[in-house]
Amino acid sequence: MLKNEPKGRIFFGILLLLIVVILCFCYGFSIKSHIWLPLIAIAYFFAYRYDVALAGLGHVNADHVVVFPAVLVTSNPLLIGIVGGFAYILERMFREGIKKVNFGHILSLLFIILNTTLSSHLFLKSGAFGQNTSLLQSYPLLILVLVVFASFGFFLLVLDRIFSKSNFSIKIWFNHLLKYSLFLIISSPFLALFLLALAEQHISFIILSFIPLISSIWFLRVNFKLVERNEELIQSNKKQEFLQQLLLQETGSLENQDFLRNFLQGLGDFVKWDRDFLYVQSVEFEKEPVVFSSTEIPLDPHNVIASIEGILNSDNPLKEPLLSSGKDFIPLLDRRSKFQLIVPLATEEISFGILILEKFDAPFFSEPEIKFVHLSLTQIARFIQDRILKGQLMLTNHTLLKQTHFLTEILKISNLLKIHLSPHEILEEVAKGISESLGFQRVLISLYRKDDMCFERFAQSGLDEIWNKISEIKPPESNILRHFKEEFKIGNCYFVRNVKTTAYTIVPNRPKTDGQDFWQPDDALFIPLLTSNKRLLGVISVDEPKDQKIPSLETLNALEILANQAVHALESAEIHSEVKHHAVVDGLTNLYNHRYFQESLTKLLKQSIVMNTPFSILMMDLDNFKEINDTYGHLAGDAVLRNIGQTLIEVTRKDDVAARYGGEEFAVLLSGLDKFQARMVAERLRSLVEKRVITDESVNIPLRVTISIGIASFPEHAKEQKELLKIADLALYRAKQAGKNRVAEGP
């Protein structure tokens, strides 16, 4: 009972007890008229039972209605005080339970004994309501005694607050003293009548005066209750206004010191405390927790924060207010505190803060106060939660839009697989898609040339101004592969900070940006183009994000997907090119086949008619090829055919079409050449074949062959495809007839 009481208050209680003991020895009393004591005790009990609470100042009751009639009957002030004191203890036990009786109740008992004894003694000594006294003589004395009764009780309460070093307002206390004195004065006329009836021992007068006395007391009690109720309504309205203001404040951020200060000060108008401490985890922003106090920061704030974080991070976070006191209570903020209220800043869904309030002295935090503090914090928590949910909704919407762009670009790349674009066209689309959908101002795609040990810059986006210059530069493989280290790897991407510039670096003209989350000019991000068997095809490098921030994991994942799609497209284009090559190229000579020659002739004829440009056909046949096959075998014949095919490839231009027409026959389309130019090419070709010595492991001796050539030109010789072929064939026949190893032209 005494463990958490201030030493000054304990000393004050002992002092009062000694005074009471001295009074008992010095005053002395005999229990006369003991038949009245049970009735007096019952009257005291009901007077204390039907009292009116005054916030922070105990209770206003009608014990004066019992005190003065009782002392008039018994003439023993000390006995009446003791009976009144113990009646008070019994009533509090009945009201709150035996376990709730504390040192404060014992002090109240001593207050009642001393106050009652002094006031009753003064009442008896004044001679009021004695024999042969009139109401006009007795009433002023009664008023005086009542004022002493109220004042001395007030004085004892003030001494209690002083000895316990409690904070209290003299102005508020004095205001309540006036109210209590008014309560006494209003009831005093009826009390005076009752006392006069007792003094004269007039039974009927006693009964008649008792009824208005009790009625007046009950009326005053009801009036006090109505006033109290009215004040509660006013306070309730103020609380509602306070809660509404919390919703209306645009600065309702828990990172705003002014908002926190105004909030705690506003809350302090309704709930009193001595120490406070607010801790808020940063749910909206990845920042340090918010710590705030409107009183004094605890001596060991780290210990307080650790305790709070233990509560917040537990498996069952605090959702309801927690009130602590008693002998085992250990305050967190101030060792002088006797009561502690811990209120969560939480909703049903999230818990992200704690408010600790501590009081040095009684009374406890009342149930309405606890509910109001909890409601206020819940109001803020819901407001913050709404902001979080709105932010998350906007972020989710933004993410979905980005994912839609990503999927659109991925689908675009996938569609490229179906139309068989060239590798250059594929990579140009990939670079453009990365720039537009993922927000990089510069995109560069380079293909890996393993045989040459370098990278060839193949496609780009955002580098038009310098592309002609940088596309001719082929960085060595070491310049790129040095970045493919595990320490830089994020997924399948490589993000490198502070890249050392080299002669092959494309340096952006951009200043550095403050902040760890921002992209710097010397940052680099590489996405290798790897096949399923980890063969390196090339690399995508991106630079200068439009938002100037380091790419998110989501962006990196999208880059990986686009890189994989690019690899699939390249592999598909490579396979398609290879299949197409085999479909139009003769496998032995590496020349185009007969079908491709005919299709090319058809296209060239149409083009030449429209453009009015010439072209020529060389129709060729190996001389005496059958003798080579018969003499040296078909393997030797194949070697001769391969050699002729290589010669044709060396002589013809890129736009020309050299084909194996059939067997040992060959044909060449010479785009843009008339018959004179065609004859020069034919003579050069015939001469090269004649001079070339063919060696092959299939024959023991070097071989030499010759070739006969027939020429047909558009439009001099013919203007139709069949006619041109016929003329070229006839010219070849004439060259054969003229002795072979010759060039002839038709018709």
Instruction: Please check whether residues 174 and 27 belong to one and the same domain.
Output: yes
* Residues 720-747 as b or e (16 or more Cβ within 10 Å = b): ebeebbbbbbbbbbebbeeeebbbbbbe
pLDDT of res. 581: 63
Spatial distance between the Cα atoms of 743 and 682, rounded to a whole number of angstroms:
7
Which one of 515, 539, 573 terminates a domain? Answer: 573
* Residues 51-66 as b or e (16 or more Cβ within 10 Å = b): bbebeebbebbbbbbb
Predicted confidence (pLDDT) at residue 167 exceeds the cutoff of 70: no
Highest mean pLDDT pick, 82-91, 275-284, 576-585: 82-91
Instruction: Please check whether residues 373 and 430 belong to one and the same domain.
Output: no
Mean pLDDT (whole number) for 487-516: 80
245 within a domain of the structure (yes/no):
no
> What single letter denotes the amino acid at residue 197?
A
71 within a domain of the structure (yes/no):
yes
Task: Give the N- to C-terminal CA distance of the chain in Å, as an integer.
Answer: 135
List the catalytic residues: 664
Mean pLDDT (whole number) for 566-577: 71
Q: Is the peptide bond before 614 cis (omega within 30 degrees of 0)?
A: no
143 vs 508, which has greater pLDDT?
143
Spatial distance between the Cα atoms of 241 and 243, rounded to a whole number of angstroms:
5
158 within a domain of the structure (yes/no):
yes
Instruction: Please check whether residues 558 and 627 belong to one and the same domain.
Output: no
Q: Kindly report, residue by residue over 484-493, the tens digit of the pLDDT.
A: 999 999 989 9
Predicted confidence (pLDDT) at residue 733 exceeds the cutoff of 60: yes
For 136, other C-beta atoms within 10 Å of its C-beta total 7
Q: What is the CATH number of the domain that holds 39?
A: 1.10.1760
Q: What average pLDDT does the chain have?
A: 82
Which one of 188, 219, 234 terminates a domain? Answer: 234
Least confident of 211-215, 508-512, 559-563: 508-512
Q: How many domains does the chain have?
A: 4
Spatial distance between the Cα atoms of 444 and 462, rounded to a whole number of angstroms:
9
Instruction: Please check whether residues 594 and 558 belong to one and the same domain.
Output: no
Q: HSE-up of 137 (CA within 13 Å, CB side)?
A: 10
Least confident of 210-219, 357-366, 719-728: 210-219
Which one of 549, 573, 597 terminates a domain? Answer: 573
pLDDT of res. 19: 78
Instruction: Please check whether residues 563 and 622 belong to one and the same domain.
Output: no
Predicted confidence (pLDDT) at residue 466 exceeds the cutoff of 60: yes
642 within a domain of the structure (yes/no):
yes
183 within a domain of the structure (yes/no):
yes
Q: Which residues are CB-contacts of 456 (< 8 A; sequence separation ≥ 6)?
A: 446, 447, 449, 474
Q: What is the CATH number of the domain that holds 532?
A: 3.30.450.40
pTM confidence score: 0.45
Instruction: Please check whether residues 633 and 715 belong to one and the same domain.
Output: yes
Instruction: Please check whether residues 208 and 93 belong to one and the same domain.
Output: yes
636 within a domain of the structure (yes/no):
yes
Q: Kindly report, residue by residue over 622-643, the tens digit of the pLDDT.
A: 998 888 888 888 888 888 898 9
Predicted confidence (pLDDT) at residue 503 exceeds the cutoff of 70: yes
Q: What is the CATH number of the domain that holds 741?
A: 3.30.70.270
Instruction: Please check whether residues 284 and 375 belong to one and the same domain.
Output: yes
239 within a domain of the structure (yes/no):
no
> What single letter denotes the amino acid at residue 697?
E
pLDDT of res. 576: 56
Instruction: Please check whether residues 304 and 384 belong to one and the same domain.
Output: yes
Mean pLDDT (whole number) for 190-205: 78
Instruction: Please check whether residues 66 and 191 belong to one and the same domain.
Output: yes
Q: For residue 404, what pLDDT band results from cuts at 50, 70 and 90?
A: confident
Instruction: Please check whether residues 205 and 283 belong to one and the same domain.
Output: no
User: Which tokens sit at 427?
Assistant: 């990579």
251 within a domain of the structure (yes/no):
no
Instruction: Please check whether residues 63 and 104 belong to one and the same domain.
Output: yes
Residue range of the domain that includes 343: 257-390
